[in-house]
Structure 1
Amino acid sequence: MSKEEARFPPCFFLGLYLILITGQAISAATDREVLLQLKDHLEATNPIRRGAYARWNASDSSPCNWPGITCNDADRVTGINLAESNINGEIFPNFHLLPELTHLDLSSNTIGGSLPADLNKCSALEHLNLSANVIAGELNLAGLTNLVMLDLTSNRFNGSIRSNFPAICANLVSLNISSNSFSGDVTGCFDKCPKLEYLDLSYNLFDGYIWQGFQKLRELFVSENHLNGELSSSTFASNCALEILDLSTNNFSGTFPGSIANCSKLTSLDLRDNAFMGEVPSGIGSLSELNSLRLGNNAFDRTIPEELLNCSKLVILDFSSHDFGGDIPEIFGRFVTLDHLILYGNQYTGGIESSGILKLPDLTTLNLSKNRFSGTLPVEITTMPKIKILILAYNGFSGSIPPAVGGMARLQLLDLSYNKLTGSIPLVIGNLTSLLWLTLAGNDLTGNIPPEIGNCSSLMWLNLANNRLSGRIPPEISAIGSDPNPTFEANRREIRQVTPVSGDCLTMNRWLPASYPPFNFVYMMFTKRKCRTTWDRLLQGYAVFPICSNSSSRILSRGISGYLQLSGNRFSGGIPPEIGRMRNFSMIQLDGNRLSSRLPREIGQLPLVIFNVSSNQLSGEIPHEIGGLRCLTILDLSQNNFSGELPSSLNGLSELNKFNVSYNPWLSGMVPSTGQIATFDHDSFLGDPLINFSFWLNGGPSFGSPPAPPPPARNSSAAGGGGRWKSVLLGVFIALTLAFVGTLTRTAVRCWRRRELQALVEEERRRRNWAW
């Protein structure tokens, strides 16, 4: 045996051979162990609701068949998909122990904390999706130089992105970091991204200048930032590949370059809410694929180039908020392909008929709100063949609503609010069986609500507030919104998605007010894109937020809920008990009328979140069934004539955050020292002299129990002479004196106790607010 053979015996070569052929299995086992660590991490932070990772079986020799796991031919883990897996807590810190990992999707969970530093070691990662979580802190992914797709949409990231870009730009094709709180100057960040095709920076706080020319860019979204500067003619090169360009809601200024004509593939151009000025570029007319042109709220000239008529596929034209006066230009009536025309927020005074816009053959949406139109409503609006959404709010229209409106069979939204309309609601309104929204608030309408309105089976959102309507609320109103599904299904069958009538949430707020749950919590976070998505889903009958589907047990489900707003009119008589059939309604506001009689117990059958009947003349006891409305957040019964005791069931309304029974002088009972009602201060009971706060902190009268009666006086049958009468009179005098002194003492004690209780209640409210 040679020296070399002695130094390396055959067993050594056998061992080396075994290592080489089993290395693959050892590596696979390592991947399996890392995934089991991941499973332990996820189960520790998510003890109740768990995703598919809970089915990962530790007894399996290979993880490649586990749900959400992808492997390559060598059985190495290359992909992890845990999207929508109910994951809380922070990101697992050891993904870098999977050296072949190229795809990681943790989107649509509630992952928090910040990005772990070790994520930078995942050098093989090509696709990383962390969108729709609550991850915060600054972005630090500079080590992921092989990324092709990065999606961080809808998180809580902040700070600058400069340490990441252009560091990870070499292979990047798609980047979406929208809907965060990123800030800082982005000038030059993406100049060295040669493969970038999709870039979305919208809904952040970026400033600087974005455009230096991207060779392959197809879609660019930078809306709702603080970007600025002018766009030069060299912005759009001859090889422009853009298909979608959204520069809306920034600080761009100057004239918009006509070189946009080089972007021959452009389908959508959104320049709204900037400071562009001068002529609308005639080069836009060269964009034969353009279907959406939004120019609203700039300072463009009034003249619209004839060349734009060459855009033969244009279906959406937004020329809103330019303060144009006079008549609507007749050129708008020649865009024969339009199905959405948005001209709100100008100063137009006429031209509705002469411009020809009412004869556009395919128009489904017309928004002329916030102009200066006056006179009677042109009857020609009722002849528009395909109109579905008609908004004429905030003008000066007068006269009556034309009866011919009953022939608009396809109408789904009619908004005539805040004009000067008079007369009654036409009976033919009952013909509009596809109507989802009817908004006539803020006019001078009189007369009754026609019973025929009950035929509007799709009508989910009815607002007749602040008119002079009178008479009884017809029982037939309970049938509105009873079957909106045919309308929703018809919208779902549309090939093209239903587009909102405007891009701002303020307009949507008029139809879904901030007081209408759950929008009171989310409007402040809504972006234009989210408003568009929300609006589209509503028109198609898809749920946006969970709603209360069972009033007694607070079961939340996905569905569509409506509202009934009749506030500020002159309705009289009782509330019809048939109102209990309105099972699709979560908000009913009848305040500021002359309603009388008892509140029907059937109210307790509704999935209400808001119920307001204040400033009426309702009487009788408050139905205890209201205490079964477990989702109720606002209950206002103030300024009525309710009597009897406060029902104890109200104390179980655990979601209640606004409660008012003030100025019901015949209402009695004790306000408890514990429970939900105890969290409301004295302002909820002003003008209720028979209402008392309980004054025992431990024990004492229960909620709804009256104070104990005074002990009966002793019976004395003795007769006698003057001395005895003097004794009796003296006794009466002493008794009255003692009673007066006792009353003063008890009043003082009660006041002291009430102040002490109120202090405790206020401390409890502060504690709850702090905890929330």
Structure 2
Amino acid sequence: MPPPPLPSKPPPSSPSRILLLCVLFLSATISLSLNQEGLDLIQVKSTLIDPSGILSDWNAADDTPCNWTGITCSRANTVTSVNLPSASLAGPFPTGLCRLSSLSIISFSDNSLNSTIPATISACRNLTSLDLSANYLEGLLPSTLADIPNLVYVNLRDNSFSGEIPRNFGKFRRLETLILINNFINGSFPVILTNVTTLKELSLAYNYFLPGLIPPELGNLSNIEHLWLSSCGFMGTIPETFSRLQKLSNLELSYNSLSGPFPAVVFQLRNLYQLELYNNSLSGELPKRDWSNLTALRLIDLSVNSFTGTIPVELCKLPLSSLGLSDNKLQGLIPESLARSPNLYDLRLFDNSLVGPLPSDLGSNSPLQTLDVSFNKLFGELPSSLCDKGQLFDLVLIGNSFSGELPASLGECKSLGRVRLSSNKLSGEVPGAILGLPHVYLLDLADNLFSGNLSSAISGGLNLSSILISGNTFSGSIPDEIGSLSNLVEFIASDNKLSGFIPETFFKLSHLGTLDLSENDISGQIPAQIGSLKQLNELNLANNKFTGEIPDEICNLPVLNYLDLSGNSFSGNIPSGLDNLMLNKLNLSNNHLSGPIPSAYAKEVYRDSFLGNPDLCGGFTHRCPQNIQSKSVHNLWLFRLIFVFSGIVLVVGVSWFIFKYRNINNTKERSRSSITKWRSFHKLGFSEFEIIHLLSENNVIGSGASGKVYKVILSNGESVAVKKLWEKSIKMGNINDSSQKDEFESEVETLGKIRHKNIVRLWCCCKSGNSRFLVYEYMPNGSLGDLLHSSKGRLLEWPMRFKIVLDAAEGLSYLHHDCVPPIIHRDVKSNNILLDEDYGARIADFGVAKFIELGAKGSESMSVVAGSRGYIAPEYAYTLRVTEKSDIYSFGVVILELVTGRKPIDQAFGERDLATWVQTTVNQKGHEHVLDPELEFESKDQICRVLDIGLLCISPLPMNRPSMRTVVNLLQEAVSDGKMRPTMNTDGKSSPYYDEDSSDQASLV
């Protein structure tokens, strides 16, 4: 029997039916009011992710889209332009735009489009301009682009296009601009493009073309004005056919392997405005004649070549704006005619062998902004005209023989930001106005002959972060006004004749990290207020006239790792609290100290740290006197009495607990309630309450921008490291700054999922109020950076260094290739590589790490640069786009640290960093000139092979850097069979290692 029929829904009442009809009618009216192009754009909007809401006014209720953001219409209300740069849009390329029949301009530059460009792009028949630069587009370039008949402008730079440039690109009919800079395009250089004689700009720099000669066919581009072909693998010289390029104004061929003499064909390019031949292998003398042919030339950079001879006078007679001849082998005088240029704002001649004085009126005729003539053989007095135009910012004269007094006019140069005059023969008193310039952040006067007092006018230098005045004859006391320099990080005044006391105002400098007053005549005691300098990393007061005891407050400086108080008259006992510091260098020799040496330093390696203190005892010295031993016995009996008394108290406490169980239980519950969140990632033998209660300022082993790190010894005897992130201010009951939450959760999210022998283990995490705690395994040998750059660094023999670098490489390789999604660390440095008891290396500190998700296509835009100075990849610093190649660059710097023993930033490098110094030195002198002299060179071949791997990792082009998986393989090969495939030229040119599987990253995502 069939089931009874379901009751039908009663029809709506008459009012309801009328309302429904009205709604339907209104919707139909709205849909009909928006024209077809508007509906097409609504469809485009639906395919895009719009986190910033920039498309919120794309409203279906409008008649036309002509007033929408980014939309331009003709007089006939047809859409002619879709212009949405830097709009944070994501998603695939919006192919629906090609349904707009009058569309001539598409611009989505600096967004996050992440697909290929489909072949159907050719349906945009009226397109004249296409700008998709700085996105995440990938795949092959669509050959159908050339089928768009009126296309004039194509900009696809800063994407991830790969493969060869299609042959069809030689068929563009009206194309004037083609920009493909910084992609992954490979194969032979696309000679086919020389058929497009309408081209005015061709920019193919920073791709991966096969090495070869510059095609002479480029001379066919008779209309070309801008030719940017940096790092295109070119060898040889510029062909004579370039003489046909009479409209060429900008020729950029830097970062290639051009060789031979200066190319004479350049002198036939009479409209040339900018010439960039930086970082090639050109040699010989610069031509003396024919420069006058280049009447339009304003910008020229021939730096990092091997040019010899003198600077041509004829070149300097041109009205140049910028002249770069640094890192060559030039000799002779700087021509006086250079100072007569009315346009010169940038002059860089450092690292040559130039002699004589600076041009006498340099700066009087031109708006000079940058002057860097460091590391030459220049002498004479400084011209008083350097800042006549009031625009000088960089004054860098390091490593010459300049003499005389500083011109008083420099004290009126309010534009100065960086002053580096070290290692000269300058003398006299430094004008107080120079010390108090408002915008100077780095004042380097070290190793000169300056004398006199430090002026109280220094209080005006509110932007000063580094004051370097060591190696002079400054006298008198340090002015109290220095305490007003709230941004001061570094004060190095060693080897002078300073006297008096350390001013108490010094201890207001909350950011001070380095204080070096060694080799002076300063007296008095170290004030107890020194404990307020919580960021102090280095304290050097050696060879002064200090007296009194070493204050216990020094032991409370959380990040101190360099302490030198030698050569003074300190007396009394050494504070036992020094045991709590992780000092890389300790020197207390030649004082009047007495009593026992702290147990942590009673080791043979520290013997030299205590010489010249005959009354010290214990450790490697003679045994302590009986009275000290008897005091220890007395202390032992006292301890036993206290123990017995504690037992009595315990019995009473237990009785009280039984009697007051409920109250005690409530107290315990309140204590537990203070832990608001607890999460463990491994099986643990301790509780969160034990961690919280054992934190003590005496156990701080490190401190930084994110918080403090404590060493905690648990009841089971195990040691752990606890990072307590800084507490944030509370406002209206909420955490006012979300950065703490971001770092805490980033580290938890990252390390909580990782299980690898070369990644530091995160045991657990917890929150208590506004405090966040991360509990790690304890690494007894500290960080690689602290160990390598301390007096203990000499203990790191090559086999141990190699083990460390291989361990760290395997850890990073795991992050990049074996995690899903891949993880980019973003702050790889030697201080974030920790060492266990066997000197096994583990990657640590994931506070700024990022997962690279599907939509990011291997990279992600950041709001700010994360990382540490000297380790940051050049492309990351200026694009804020982070990829795994950024980590690889940083790891390359770590390799250079291990091989050279040098820090990533060192005054000895001048204005360069370790990476630049090693590249330049190896190019000019060879590998052996950068190796750490502390290393035994029985393994020299292996060390040099590892150095080559480091140079490969720091290639200026991200595409030329190997993956971490390849780095691991190279390191293993370097030690296993003593042979290594060829790496690359140390100038960053193409490398045969870039044949790795380019799908590695994509397959993991």
- Determine the C-alpha separation between the residues in 2 that align with 1:251 and 1:235: 18
1:369 corresponds to 2:360: no
Q: Which residue of 2 aligns with 1:314?
A: 320
- Determine the C-alpha separation between the residues in 1 that align with 2:33 and 2:145: 23
1:751 corresponds to 2:717: yes
1:464 corresponds to 2:468: yes
- Determine the C-alpha separation between the residues in 2 that align with 1:399 and 1:264: 42
Contact 2:85–2:109 under 8 Å retained in 1: yes
CA 1:422/1:697 → structure 2, altered by over 3 Å: closer, same or farther? farther
Q: Give CA-to-partner distance per residue, 1:499-540, whole Å, 9 cap, x none.
A: xxxxxxxxxxxxxxxxxxxxxxxxxxxxxxxxxxxxxxxxxx
Contact 2:364–2:389 under 8 Å retained in 1: no
Contact 1:131–1:155 under 8 Å retained in 2: yes
| Aligned pair partner of 2:687 in 674, 697, 720 | 697
1:699 aligned partner, one-letter code: F
Q: Which residue of 2 aligns with 1:203?
A: 206
Contact 2:430–2:451 under 8 Å retained in 1: no
Query: How is 1:347-366 mapped onto 2 (pairs within 5 angstroms)?
Result: 347-348=353-354, 350-352=355-357, 356=360, 358=362, 361-362=365-366, 364-365=368-369
1:134 aligned partner, one-letter code: Y
Which is richer in helix?
2
1:289 aligned partner, one-letter code: A
| Aligned pair partner of 2:111 in 102, 109, 112 | 109
| Aligned pair partner of 2:490 in 541, 565, 570 | 565
- For normalisation by structure 1, the TM-score amounts to 0.60
1:298 corresponds to 2:305: yes
Q: Give CA-to-partner distance per residue, 1:157-181, whole Å, 9 cap, x none.
A: 34432456325x3221112222334
Query: How is 1:323-338 mapped onto 2 (pairs within 5 angstroms)?
Result: 323-329=329-335, 332=338, 338=344
- Determine the C-alpha separation between the residues in 2 that align with 1:328 and 1:417: 19
| Aligned pair partner of 2:273 in 267, 270, 277 | 267
| Aligned pair partner of 1:213 in 208, 216, 220 | 220
CA 1:139/1:747 → structure 2, altered by over 3 Å: closer, same or farther? closer
CA shift, 1:271, in A, is 2.5
Q: Provide the secondary structure at the position in 2 that maps to 1:265.
A: coil
Q: Give CA-to-partner distance per residue, 1:310-333, whole Å, 9 cap, x none.
A: 63x333333333312344455546
- Determine the C-alpha separation between the residues in 1 that align with 2:113 and 2:512: 37
Q: Which residue of 1 aligns with 2:64?
A: 62
Contact 1:260–1:283 under 8 Å retained in 2: no
1:130 corresponds to 2:132: yes
2:513 aligned partner, one-letter code: Q
Contact 1:616–1:639 under 8 Å retained in 2: yes
CA 1:395/1:603 → structure 2, altered by over 3 Å: closer, same or farther? closer
1:286 corresponds to 2:286: no
1:92 aligned partner, one-letter code: P
| Aligned pair partner of 1:452 in 450, 454, 457 | 457
Contact 2:341–2:366 under 8 Å retained in 1: no
1:702 aligned partner, one-letter code: I
Q: Which residue of 2 aligns with 1:234?
A: 241
Q: Give CA-to-partner distance per residue, 1:335-364, whole Å, 9 cap, x none.
A: 57645433222112x3215x6564863362
Q: Which residue of 2 aligns with 1:439?
A: 443
- Determine the C-alpha separation between the residues in 2 that align with 1:599 and 1:476: 17
- Determine the C-alpha separation between the residues in 2 that align with 1:303 and 1:663: 47
Contact 1:268–1:290 under 8 Å retained in 2: yes
- Determine the C-alpha separation between the residues in 1 that align with 2:504 and 2:415: 29
Structure 1 stretch displaced more, 29-38 or 357-366:
357-366
Contact 2:561–2:584 under 8 Å retained in 1: yes
Q: Provide the secondary structure at the position in 1 that maps to 2:241.
A: coil
Identity %: 22
- Determine the C-alpha separation between the residues in 2 that align with 1:33 and 1:87: 19
- Determine the C-alpha separation between the residues in 1 that align with 2:207 and 2:388: 42
- Determine the C-alpha separation between the residues in 2 that align with 1:596 and 1:140: 72
Query: How is 1:594-605 mapped onto 2 (pairs within 5 angstroms)?
Result: 596-597=526-527
Q: Provide the secondary structure at the position in 2 that maps to 1:175.
A: strand
| Aligned pair partner of 1:346 in 349, 352, 359 | 352
1:590 corresponds to 2:514: yes
Q: Which residue of 2 aligns with 1:636?
A: 559
Q: Which residue of 1 aligns with 2:783?
A: none
Q: Provide the secondary structure at the position in 1 that maps to 2:291.
A: helix
Q: Give CA-to-partner distance per residue, 1:442-486, whole Å, 9 cap, x none.
A: 5367886432112346x45544276578987645346569xxxxx
Q: Give CA-to-partner distance per residue, 1:239-270, whole Å, 9 cap, x none.
A: 71122222223222344454544433332222
1:696 aligned partner, one-letter code: F
| Aligned pair partner of 2:186 in 183, 188, 195 | 183
CA 1:226/1:181 → structure 2, altered by over 3 Å: closer, same or farther? same
1:171 corresponds to 2:174: yes
CA shift, 1:766, in A, is 8.3
- Determine the C-alpha separation between the residues in 2 that align with 1:771 and 1:325: 49
- Determine the C-alpha separation between the residues in 1 that align with 2:421 and 2:316: 33
Query: How is 1:646-665 mapped onto 2 (pairs within 5 angstroms)?
Result: none
Q: Give CA-to-partner distance per residue, 1:415-444, whole Å, 9 cap, x none.
A: 334415587862434476465344316536
Query: How is 1:80-91 mapped onto 2 (pairs within 5 angstroms)?
Result: 80-91=82-93
Q: Give CA-to-partner distance per residue, 1:654-675, whole Å, 9 cap, x none.
A: xxxxx979999999xxxxxx99
- Determine the C-alpha separation between the residues in 1 that align with 2:513 and 2:425: 22
Gaps of at least 5 residues in structure 1 are: 1-24, 482-561, 605-610, 627-634, 645-658, 668-673, 680-693, 708-745
1:476 corresponds to 2:504: no
* Paired positions, count: 567
- Determine the C-alpha separation between the residues in 2 that align with 1:304 and 1:115: 49
CA shift, 1:130, in A, is 1.4
CA shift, 1:188, in A, is 0.8
- Determine the C-alpha separation between the residues in 2 that align with 1:309 and 1:771: 50
Contact 1:162–1:186 under 8 Å retained in 2: no
- Determine the C-alpha separation between the residues in 2 that align with 1:382 and 1:105: 47
Q: Provide the secondary structure at the position in 2 that maps to 1:104.
A: strand
Contact 1:70–1:78 under 8 Å retained in 2: yes
Q: Provide the secondary structure at the position in 2 that maps to 1:702.
A: helix
Q: Provide the secondary structure at the position in 1 that maps to 2:154.
A: strand
Contact 1:28–1:75 under 8 Å retained in 2: no
- Determine the C-alpha separation between the residues in 1 that align with 2:315 and 2:424: 36
Contact 1:78–1:102 under 8 Å retained in 2: yes
- Determine the C-alpha separation between the residues in 1 that align with 2:378 and 2:266: 39
CA shift, 1:151, in A, is 1.4
1:194 corresponds to 2:197: yes
Query: How is 1:3-82 mapped onto 2 (pairs within 5 angstroms)?
Result: 29-42=35-48, 45-46=49-50, 49-82=51-84
Contact 1:427–1:452 under 8 Å retained in 2: no
Contact 1:140–1:164 under 8 Å retained in 2: no
- Determine the C-alpha separation between the residues in 2 that align with 1:703 and 1:424: 58
Q: Provide the secondary structure at the position in 1 that maps to 2:195.
A: coil
- Determine the C-alpha separation between the residues in 2 that align with 1:76 and 1:569: 73
**What is the RMSD of the two structures over their aligned residues, measured on CA atoms?**
5.1
1:178 aligned partner, one-letter code: I
CA 1:463/1:216 → structure 2, altered by over 3 Å: closer, same or farther? farther
Contact 2:507–2:529 under 8 Å retained in 1: no
Q: Provide the secondary structure at the position in 2 that maps to 1:282.
A: coil
Q: Which residue of 1 aligns with 2:595?
A: none
1:127 aligned partner, one-letter code: S
Q: Provide the secondary structure at the position in 1 that maps to 2:185.
A: strand
Q: Provide the secondary structure at the position in 2 that maps to 1:700.
A: helix
Q: Which residue of 2 aligns with 1:154?
A: 158
Query: How is 1:388-403 mapped onto 2 (pairs within 5 angstroms)?
Result: 388-389=392-393, 391-397=395-401, 402=406
Query: How is 1:522-541 mapped onto 2 (pairs within 5 angstroms)?
Result: none
- Determine the C-alpha separation between the residues in 2 that align with 1:252 and 1:260: 14
CA shift, 1:232, in A, is 3.1
Q: Which residue of 2 aligns with 1:739?
A: none
Q: Provide the secondary structure at the position in 2 that maps to 1:253.
A: strand
